[in-house]
Amino acid sequence: MPGHSLTVTTFQRPTYCDECGGLLWGWKKQGLQCADCDYVSHHGCANKTRDCVSSRPSPPPSRSAALQSPISSAQIETAVVSAAILSMDSHLPVSHYLATLPPLHPQTTTRNFTRFVSRCGPVFGFRDKVILLLNWDKPIDTFVALVAYCFICFYPKLLLFVPQLVILTILMAGYFKRAHPRSDPMKPPATTEPTFPDDVAMAGNKRTYLGGLASSLFPVFDETSPEYGRNLQNMQNMMGESSDMYDIVQAHAYLWDWSDEDLCGQLIVGVLLSMVLVSAAVYFVSFRTICLVGGVSMFLGNTRFAKHLISELAPLLLPLTKQRLLQLSTRQHTIKLHVQQQLALHEVSLYENQRWSDEKKAFTAHLLPSERGPWSDYTGLQKLPSNKQVSNPPAHSSWLEKTWQLDTLGAWKNALGIEQKATVDKDGWAYYTDAWLIRTDGYQPGISTRRRRRWVRHCEQQASQTS
């Protein structure tokens, strides 16, 4: 027997050595392969190879043998290793479908358009049947569909039987067409003599029946048939409706493209509120009840009585709805202006500080050097000029009052802007101890040695800075 014609080979898939049964590891040039009999071996097993036996075409395995031969563990291991190796290849496309799409070609476009128009009849037929079913074209069928929908709402597991019911409906429709064929006036009368078809004829009749059933359920119409024109009309209307819907969505793009920030902000608030309402509805009301009420309302809303009632009430309700929306918009605009005005208004506070003088037997503005100044902020750390000296408003603002106003209510605000009620007398003075820490309840001789009061002035920020 001649020897093998071994050559170094790079294998594109996991391959095992025919001599030792081990896997050929590596990315390229993993082992040797015979050019005559496809014998595979490691580089180290080349000196142990048997004689070469020319490969002969083996007969194809029979169907019974293929069914009886189980899948071996080696085949499973090979498949797993192959999948692991191929998954690490970054050059392979992520989607085989997108990578193998045919390019644009006029002939392909014409052929596919013609094929689609001749075969899209069942799609539009199903759409028309659903529309007629919802619009009570046949009240009995619609009532049965309504009852079935109610059962599905109460028992959602029935949806698992929908595919089987669809297949049974198609099979029963085909059987009914076979058992009750339509009479063809052009067809010659059948002979009364008994015939005994052979197996070939019976097989041909079976194929003819299957083809007739398929063509009756999924027909393919010729370009000259009226059905083809009807499909073309449906295609025309569908493209027009899709374009109209796209134009409507594009015309309302200002709702989400942030060209109007106020409107988009209101839309976000509305969406969040609707999420809260839906969450509350789902929490308190079962989802089955929601689906039941929604579906039954859809069926009842498509009755002739409901459609005529809506058409009669719509002209009456439309002006009222527009009026309510206008009132709501006006109120919202008023609230918005009020909020903007409140945001534009700022209150400036100035605190006047005094101490008790034993020499003068009265309060004086001459404080100790270690104390706060005679005029300061709320904390007393920042010394400020008096109310007669401060004349310029804050930046980009203007005063609303000509002079400073005395606060006789004691509605003081701390450094964080939190309002704190202070006990003040008729002149607005609040009394403290020596350290300015403990506030006394009114003037107490010998204890209340410090006092302060607040002067207030309001300013309005300019419109260019608030926008």
Quick one: pLDDT at residue 215? 60
Whether 404 maps to a domain, the answer reads: yes
Whether 128 maps to a domain, the answer reads: yes
Whether 188 maps to a domain, the answer reads: no
Same domain, 218 and 122: yes
Whether 306 maps to a domain, the answer reads: yes
Whether 105 maps to a domain, the answer reads: no
Quick one: pLDDT at residue 463? 65
Quick one: pLDDT at residue 303? 94
Same domain, 384 and 444: yes
Same domain, 354 and 336: no
What count of Cα atoms within 13 Å lies in the side-chain half-sphere of residue 72? Answer: 5
Same domain, 304 and 408: no
The total of other beta-carbon atoms located within 10 Å of residue 141's CB is 13
Residue type, 162: V
Mark which of 220, 244, 268 sits at the end of a domain. Answer: 244
Same domain, 434 and 350: yes
pTM: 0.56
Look up tokens 């709702």; give the residue. Answer: 255
Same domain, 351 and 449: yes
Sign of torsion over alpha carbons 433, 439, 444, 450:
positive
Same domain, 275 and 239: no
Whether 46 maps to a domain, the answer reads: yes
Q: Which domain does 316 fall in, by range? A: 247-340
Whether 65 maps to a domain, the answer reads: no
Number of domains in the chain: 4
| Average pLDDT per block of 10 residues along the chain, 467 residues long | 74 76 76 80 76 57 51 85 84 87 91 91 93 95 95 93 91 81 51 42 43 64 88 94 95 89 88 92 89 94 93 90 88 83 82 89 87 88 84 82 89 78 88 80 81 90 61
Same domain, 262 and 316: yes
DSSP type of residue 343: H
Whether 189 maps to a domain, the answer reads: no
Token pair belonging to 166: 């669809």
Residue 458: its H or E element: strand 450-461
Quick one: pLDDT at residue 465? 52
Mark which of 340, 364, 387 sits at the end of a domain. Answer: 340
